[in-house]
Amino acid sequence: MHYRHKFRILLFIFIILFVLFVKFTCYGQNGFLSWNEQCDECRCNNLFSYACEEKDCILKQEAFCGTSTSGSCQTQNDCVTDGCSGQICRSITDPSDIPTPTTCEYRDCYNNELYNMVCGCIENKCQWTSLG
């Protein structure tokens, strides 16, 4: 009987904590927000890098982190992506713009398609630019 009594007390405490958590939490479409009276101000749980936008938790996205060598170019075809993860935009016609050694780790912020970026000839320099 002694263990059953302890179990009931622990269960009761758990239920109260759960009810308080649910009561003081505003739920957004993509996560939960901390509570205030009207649920009009939010602070997101940051377990997965969420940011609070328009009263909802939105997964934050890192900024694009590819690099450009700014080597000289005349046309788009003079520029290529390079590096083990495709994170470098460089010239193939500029003799001073030699391939840059890189470490071979992948980061999402290197993904030019994810960030709508393209390696191109902008003002006669090879560099990353946004498509939209």
- Together in a domain, 90 and 125: yes
Q: In angstroms, what CA-CA distances link 19 with 10, 25, 45, 91, 119?
A: 14, 10, 18, 61, 53
Q: Phi and psi of 59, rounded to 5°?
A: -65, 125
pLDDT tens profile 83-117: 999 999 999 998 888 887 888 888 888 888 888 89
- Together in a domain, 55 and 71: no
- Put simply, whether the predicted model's pTM sits higher than 0.75 gets the answer no
Residue at a domain's end among 41, 59, 77: 59
- Together in a domain, 77 and 116: yes
Q: In angstroms, what CA-CA distances link 36 with 23, 28, 33, 47?
A: 10, 13, 9, 20
- Together in a domain, 53 and 90: no
Domain ranges, residue 109? 67-130
pLDDT of residue 90: 94
Residue at a domain's end among 59, 82, 104: 59
Number of structural domains the chain divides into: 2
Token duo for residue 128: 């990353």
pLDDT tens profile 1-43: 577 777 777 777 766 655 444 444 454 544 554 444 444 555 5
Residue at a domain's end among 10, 26, 59: 59
